[in-house]
Amino acid sequence: MVVHQPGAWFDEVLAGLASQDYPNLNSVFFLTAKLTSSGVDTTDANAVATKISEVLPNAVVRIVEGNPGFGRLINELQRIVDGDKCLFCIMHDDVVLQTDTVRKLVEELFISNAAVVGPKLMQWDKPTLLQSVGFGIDRCGEIDPFIEQNERDQEQHDAVRDVFFVSSACMLVRSDLFRELNGFSQDISFFGEDLDFCWRAHLSGARVLVSPTAVARHIDSFETRSPNLISRASAARNRARTVATLTSRWRLPFVWLQMLLTSAIETVLGVFTGTFRESLASFRATVALVLDASYIWQRRRQVRPLRRVAASEIAKLQVKGSARLTRFIRHRRALASREIASLVQTKKRWRQSSTRTAGTVLLAVTILILVGSREIITDSSRVIGEMLPFENGSVSTSSVFTNFLSGWWSSGFGEASANPTGLGLIALASYFLFGNLALLQTLMIVGSLFVGLIGMWRLCGAFANTRVRLGAAVVYAALPLSYDAIARGRFSALICIAAAPWLFDILNRFQDGKDQSLVRKTQLVSGLLLILGLVFAFTPSIAILFLAITGLWVFASFLGGVSATKLFSVLLVGLTGLIGSLFINLPWSMHFVSSSWWHLLAGDQGVTDRKIGLISLARLDFGNTRGGFLVVAIYFCVFCALVVADGWRRLWAIRSSVLVVFGLLLVVLDDRGRLPFALPEPAVMLAIVACGLALAVATCLSVFAETNLTRASDWRRSLSLLVPLAIAMMIAPTLLSVTDGRWNQPETLVPQLLEQLPDNPKEGNYRTLYIGERDLLPVATNSVNSEISYGVADDGAVNFSSNWAPQETSMNLVAQRALKSLIADDTVRVGRLISPLAIRFIVVPLGDLPSSAALSLVESLSNQLDLRRTYFARNLVIFEDVTWLPIISVLDEVSSVASQQVSDFSLTSQELKSQSALLIDKNSVADKKVRAKFAGGTVHVAVPFDSRWRLIVDDAQLAPRVAFGSSTAFDAPIAGILSLQYQTSPLRYFYLVVQAIVWLCLIMLAANFSRFRRRMRQVESNDVAVLFDAVRQDQKIDMAKR
Amino acid sequence: MKKLNLRYASTLVILATAFVALIFVNQASDQGLETESVRKSENVFGISAMPSVAGDSQSSTSWFCPGVPGLEKTVSSEIVVSNSTDIPITGKVTFLLSDKPAAVAQLIVQPFTRGVIDATGGRKSKFISAVVELDNGAAAVEQRIIHPAGDSISLCANKPSDRWFFADGFTGADSLFNVLLSNPFPDATVVDISFVTADGKREPASLKGIIIEPERIYSLSMGDQGARNESVLAVSVRATSGRFVAGKLQHFLGRGRLGYSTSLGAASTSRQWWFAGGRKDPDTDEQLVVFNPTEQDQSVSVAFLTGVAEEIFREPLVLTIPAGRVTTLATSKLPAVTDGRYGVVVSSITNDFVTSDEDSAVEFVVVEQVISRREDKKTGTTTTFGAPVGAPSRTWTVASGVPAAGGTLVILNATSLATTLKVSTIGPAGSVAIEGFEKIELGAAAVLEIKIPIASADLPILIEADNEVVVQREVNRGHELIGVSSVLALPHRSSGIAAVAGK
């Protein structure tokens, strides 16, 4: 018997053993001892040993270090007991035998010539109810208990019969067989050792049967006795491994497929039947068999000598069809014949099934999100703000990857710099989707909603209550912040909102984890780095958001009484995350090493002072959603949490209120231009407030769900009624938005209108300048002032790569200066000022409600003497600069001379003219595929100057010079076939390789692949460390001599 | 409730403080927002109604002159560029011709001098207008026509507009009334022209959709367009596409008017119009011509500012101008107006409670002053646009100076406070106060007439005041003709803009 921290019942167990009428009985006890930081604590074990000695003076007692597992301890019998002419009655420490149980088992073993015999197990408290009469299994290892739950014993199962296995709670085994089979599997600590053993017994030709006349009572309360060891996953894993090890090789592939299919179906059905977790564990175990391949192969080799019975014979012992289905049918029949009371109990169980509730609600939320996003899924997102098409024009996976590898960042005006990591990630992800970039975009947009939902679910795991987690996750998903981001095309905000709960979760896990191993800490930090790095690759403003998140988290935890040491470690982790996210985005992140690094990170280039107002910000929808004012009701939960929370929940109440109040304060200060620095756009920063609100809801629900509020005088009862009302009010506007199908993305014709601009015209490639309110511009922007921003894109349809652009090039400075003059009405020749920048069209999107600044901008543009009005509409204005130079052109003589000067006056005083355009194709300037005939002259390339540009005329390579103080020119006095190329530094490729390795390492660390390695190598220690025999040192039982 | 511990209480206090701060920041900024909004709307709408000197706020300026005749041998014209800075101003002049491509000439104006160039640029064309682009914001530009029927100065616009108005036109006794439309842009501008006579508004189909070619000037003789022998003739020109600059050339040939007058149009209507040069004496015939180009009737009050507090608004005169019509007020015949100098302010009292922000969407009236002086059966007529709302400024520049013989400055204090003035000339030594004019007191709503000394003739003049004033000058028409040519000086943009105008 293995004894582990027994309860009061143990006296009865010992009495049962002592009362056995079988004459030749010796007892061996293995007592587990606690492992503490100072060593092994045997105090309790010694007390138990003394108790055993008092009842069974001849018993052999072994105290062992810790609890290495039932099977492993029982296997020690082989060492303690000499000789093969005996029987082992293996028992749990919570089984009481009747006086004749052992005798009857022995009799039946001899009568039936069996090798393993089990008794009829009855329930401990209700000895009239059956617990086990042996078990059958189907081919997939699914167990059929033969009896219904709580089935009354009416002797209906009292016939001796062959079963597939009997419970290890009490089983009689022939010692010779036990030795031959090498006992229980060393790899199974708990759960499933009996199945594995009996199956091997069958393979060796032994009989396993149940003898119902032998009766024992069993508590079977493993969950309450060893909560730390409960694991559905390990039970499922052991079962799957047993099936994979012991099934014949020809049947194994089919069995595995059958297991995979049935477990997958059961997982889906489990959402509704309340068995989701079990089914999911089963599914994961089945999938993980792939990782266990080497282990299984090794085990099969060990088992091979035992295979004496044909596989077909074993199959006959197994339940035909599905054991689960059989069980289900039996259960339905039992239900039909039971009384109403039973049904009531079932209904109660049904209601209490938290997984079922969670599954159903999450499924409903999923369906609502999918229905609300249906038009985005079927027809892609509209081209709004940053939501530019991934698949547009000449963009393909390979072209994206080629651009990523290049040393020339070709967006905007271009720059000799590393391309954004995001480009590489998109290229990589699209490879997994077979190059379907559009699908990738849809997945990223709609998937972000689910990522945020799951992140909040994980974060609220700290409340250890499924309904609380569910409430918070649903609230987070229902807040209008994400949907407003979709409606306004704020992609960067969307992914920040999705990432925020995950960041909080990691900080919380790092702070609250007790005695975490270095591996666990490394895993958390790696996860943090990966999340931050991934989001940073798309929106650098996550760095500032995370800074605020860390600061507020530490501040709130400090107020909540968390120790300074822990807070310091969280701060350290936060800093590591920040620096690490920059590091893993190298070399691109060098772009942020600049005097205006903060503005570059903020992503808004200093746009503050938006004057949105507190109410619109607090609604989290900027005033855009129908009935959005109802969202404000959810702030009641913040107040409520502060009032009702006590104990450990008070910390969460403080955290949620600090996140909400200080988060809003930060956003409002920025909104009013009261901060000395710029923050990312409000939608990004409001992710903090959204998390705070969801945590406040979680705190309230936790209090109400887990605190007894039955007393009528409890003032919290009234608040508990208001919280659901507040949640319902908050959800209502989002529910209304579901009907739209694309979360109220505006009907906009702007992209279609932009299609009228020519692609690769014979006059030469050109750029388009987008200028106006930042949110309306479909490209990466630089701010001209607090209200007007601008960005540029090459001719052709805009695509997602326009979301990233270098912002501090010399050409940006020229553009910025010209546009400032324009807005100040300082010039009527802005066309000439931007002429060397190859800007042909100036596009001003106005939106539905243009600001006075935007209208004033149009006014100023209308007064420009070099701009031709191409298109004038209510929501879009397009001008054409008649003085534009193509991106690659041959300058006339006068312009060539002018190109050597740096002065606005030289630009405005004369019109620049090109003789002809060169190298016209759809590719970016650094990737020109075409060649052109050239008659000599000054070739002007409208890109910022860099010495790695080469103009090749026939075989002659020409070095560039600076033109107009910012762009590039080649003085080429020779005629010939001309091509242009940018020579990427080999170091660039080296950096990319290093970057890839770093990412791979982080993924391995975050995924903790060591657990897979353990699975594969089975490195778990199989040793049992016996400390000493409390009664008789080194006593052995010599059955051979008896 | 359980007893609160100290830490939790402190936390609640911190949270409450943060919440109060949140509300405070939000509300405090709302107040600032209103002030900012008013300031912005003043900047956007106040100054655009009238040409002005940008000053240091801009590093370059552009001036769009209304146009001059280019083929009349007896007529010459010039562009006057005043440089009141201590550095040379460079720039270029683009001449827009009626029937030929535009021509460009470079320009340099030395510090503290006036540059005078031929307004035709030596080109031959029926009409020629000029666009002057300068690399300094402190420059001021005017256009002057030397005509046998009387010299005339007109302002040049700072920017084109999509609408222009002329309240006073006159084709009586076959007087000539030419409207000049300049398009300095690289694409064509399409305009619709309508005019109002004593009989009512007319919108001839021939004046719809007139195309002004890129970088050309287009002229229109109103007499040839069916408005012959009209004593009342207001013109409204609106672009359906693009922008342009409009001016008028008037040659009065009889029926009480004689002489030659040019002027830039009014680029917008305005809630108020200020006139400094009102005068009542037996030899002067003064009219205020109020044009209502809107679709609704407009009521205006006319106040005569004499500096005597009791007389201000003593007899508030209210006129109602029907939609799309012109009303002429003969001020000389008003018995309540005493003889002498006075200022006039014409204010729209329609939509009186419209806020400043909404003014941008509202149109008001256009007012011109017509003064005919008679002497020994000779008459000299001049027309002048008033200073629209927002134009009164503390600093004014007279770019082309005021000829000593027959030239005066008339300054109206546009505020209800007394003010102190300084009048300087800009010469080789920079800005130097004219002796005797270093510090002049001017009462509230009073008008002051200043004769410029001979020594200061032809120099640019700078008028600086403590409060907002309106400066108008009256210059001799030359050629021994009687009467004066009256034109506003140029206000400085950065020196106080008081109110808001409509479109």
CA A897 to chain B, closest CA, distance in angstroms equals: 18
- Give the DSSP H/E element, type plus range, for residue A989: helix A986-1007
- Confidence at residue A224, expressed as pLDDT on a 0 to 100 scale: 65
Is B18 an 8 Å CB contact of chain A? yes
- Kindly determine whether residue A827 and residue B41, on different chains, have CB atoms separated by under 8 Å: no
3-class DSSP assignment, residue B86 = coil
- Kindly determine whether residue B29 and residue A673, on different chains, have CB atoms separated by under 8 Å: yes
What are the backbone angles phi and psi of residue A488, rounded to the nearest 5°?
Answer: -100, 5
Contact criterion met (CB below 8 Å) for A161 and A210: yes
Q: Which residue out of A863, A883, A884, A910 would a mutagenesis test of the B interface target, given it has the greatest number of B Cβ atoms within 10 Å?
A: A863
Lowest pLDDT segment from A593-607, A677-691, B482-496: A593-607
- Kindly determine whether residue B243 and residue A882, on different chains, have CB atoms separated by under 8 Å: no
Distance, in Å, from the CA atom of A319 to the CA atom of B311, rounded to the nearest integer, reads: 116
- Confidence at residue B475, expressed as pLDDT on a 0 to 100 scale: 85
- Confidence at residue A216, expressed as pLDDT on a 0 to 100 scale: 93
3-class DSSP assignment, residue A670 = helix
Q: Taking each helix axis from N to C terminus, what angle separates A491-512 and A564-583, rounded to the nearest 10 degrees? A: 140
Asked whether residue B116 carries a pLDDT value surpassing 50, the answer given is yes
- CB neighbour list of residue A244: distance below 8 Å, 6 or more residues apart: A252, A256, A289, A292, A296
Q: Is A583 exposed, middle or buried (0-12, 13-18, 19+ CB in 10 A)?
A: middle
3-class DSSP assignment, residue B316 = coil
**Neighboring chain A residues of B187 at a CB cutoff of 8 Å:** 868-869
- Residue A310: which region, alpha, beta or left (left: phi > 0; alpha: psi -120 to 50)? beta
pLDDT digits (tens, 9 = 90+) for A246-280: 888 888 888 888 888 888 888 877 766 667 777 88
Q: Which residues pair with B411 in a beta bridge?
A: B448, B471
Q: Give the closest residue to A555 by CA, choosing from A567, A543, A545, A544.
A: A567
Mean pLDDT of A385-390: 82
Record the tokens describing residue B291, joined without a space. Answer: 């044009």
CA A665 to chain B, closest CA, distance in angstroms equals: 5
**Neighboring chain B residues of A657 at a CB cutoff of 8 Å:** 15
Is B31 an 8 Å CB contact of chain A? no
Record the tokens describing residue B197, joined without a space. Answer: 């006579």
**Type of residue at A864:** Q
Record the tokens describing residue A341, joined without a space. Answer: 């009371």
Comparing CB atoms, the residue among B18, B62, B241 nearest residue A662 is B18
Q: What percent of chain A has pLDDT over 70?
A: 89
pLDDT digits (tens, 9 = 90+) for A233-250: 778 888 888 888 888 888
**Neighboring chain B residues of A829 at a CB cutoff of 8 Å:** 133
pLDDT digits (tens, 9 = 90+) for B265-306: 999 888 889 999 888 888 888 999 999 998 888 899 888 888
pLDDT digits (tens, 9 = 90+) for A405-423: 888 888 888 888 888 898 8
Contact criterion met (CB below 8 Å) for B154 and B66: yes
pLDDT digits (tens, 9 = 90+) for B217-272: 999 999 888 888 888 999 999 999 889 999 999 999 888 888 999 999 999 888 88
The pTM for the full model equals 0.74
Distance, in Å, from the CA atom of A958 to the CA atom of A980, rounded to the nearest integer, reads: 10
**Type of residue at A250:** W
- Whether omega for the bond prior to residue A587 falls within 30 degrees of 0, making it cis, is yes
Contact criterion met (CB below 8 Å) for A804 and A404: no
Contact criterion met (CB below 8 Å) for B104 and B122: no
DSSP structure string for B103-144: EEEEEEE-TTEEEEEETTTT---SEEEEEEEES-TT-EEEEE
Contact criterion met (CB below 8 Å) for B485 and B151: yes
- Kindly determine whether residue A559 and residue B10, on different chains, have CB atoms separated by under 8 Å: yes
Distance, in Å, from the CA atom of A457 to the CA atom of A468, rounded to the nearest integer, reads: 9
- Residue A766: which region, alpha, beta or left (left: phi > 0; alpha: psi -120 to 50)? beta
DSSP structure string for A563-610: -HHHHHHHHHHHHHHHHHHHHTTTTGGGGG-STTHHHHHHSSTT----
| Residue in chain B nearest A830 by alpha carbon | B60
Locate all alpha helices (DSSP H) within A678-829, ordered by sequence. 682-706, 716-738, 750-754, 810-823
pLDDT digits (tens, 9 = 90+) for A185-241: 888 877 888 889 999 999 888 999 999 999 999 887 766 665 555 567 778 888 888
Record the tokens describing residue B91, joined without a space. Answer: 């720039």
Lowest pLDDT segment from A801-805, A1032-1036, B18-22, B446-450: A1032-1036
Distance, in Å, from the CA atom of A816 to the CA atom of A829, rounded to the nearest integer, reads: 14
- Whether omega for the bond prior to residue A746 falls within 30 degrees of 0, making it cis, is no
Asked whether residue B180 carries a pLDDT value surpassing 90, the answer given is yes
| Residue in chain B nearest A828 by alpha carbon | B62
Asked whether residue B187 carries a pLDDT value surpassing 50, the answer given is yes
Q: Write b or e for each residue in A710-736: b if 16 or more Cβ atoms lie within 10 A of its Cβ, otherwise e.
A: eeeeeebeebbeebeebbebbbbbbee
In this prediction, residue A343 has a pLDDT band, given cuts at 50, 70 and 90, of very low
Q: Give the closest residue to B472 by CA, choosing from B353, B405, B388, B384.
A: B384
- CB neighbour list of residue A57: distance below 8 Å, 6 or more residues apart: none
CA B320 to chain A, closest CA, distance in angstroms equals: 33
Asked whether residue B76 carries a pLDDT value surpassing 50, the answer given is yes
What are the backbone angles phi and psi of residue B36, rounded to the nearest 5°?
Answer: -60, -40
Count the Cβ atoms, other than its own, within 10 Å of residue B258.
23
- Confidence at residue A235, expressed as pLDDT on a 0 to 100 scale: 82
Q: What is the ipTM of this complex?
A: 0.84
What are the backbone angles phi and psi of residue A302, rounded to the nearest 5°?
Answer: -65, -35
Biggest CA pair distance of chain A: 120
Residue ranges of chain A whose CB lies within 8 Å of a chain B CB: 559-561, 611, 613-614, 642, 646, 650, 654, 657-658, 661-662, 664-665, 668-669, 671-674, 715, 821, 824-829, 852, 856, 862-863, 865-869, 872, 882, 905, 908-909
Place of tokens 């988060």: A663
Distance, in Å, from the CA atom of A85 to the CA atom of B494, rounded to the nearest integer, reads: 114
Asked whether residue B194 carries a pLDDT value surpassing 90, the answer given is yes
pLDDT digits (tens, 9 = 90+) for A420-452: 898 899 988 888 888 888 889 899 999 999 999
CA angle centred on A365, ends A360 and A367, rounded to 5°: 95
Contact criterion met (CB below 8 Å) for A540 and A600: yes
- Confidence at residue A951, expressed as pLDDT on a 0 to 100 scale: 87
Record the tokens describing residue A427, joined without a space. Answer: 């290229």
* Helices (H) then strands (E): counts for chain B: 1, 36
Lowest pLDDT segment from A669-683, A868-882, A1010-1024, B160-174: A1010-1024
- The DSSP 8-state label assigned to residue B213 in this structure reads P
pLDDT digits (tens, 9 = 90+) for A151-172: 888 888 888 889 999 998 999 9
- The DSSP 8-state label assigned to residue A800 in this structure reads G
Distance, in Å, from the CA atom of A511 to the CA atom of B364, rounded to the nearest integer, reads: 68
Asked whether residue B433 carries a pLDDT value surpassing 50, the answer given is yes
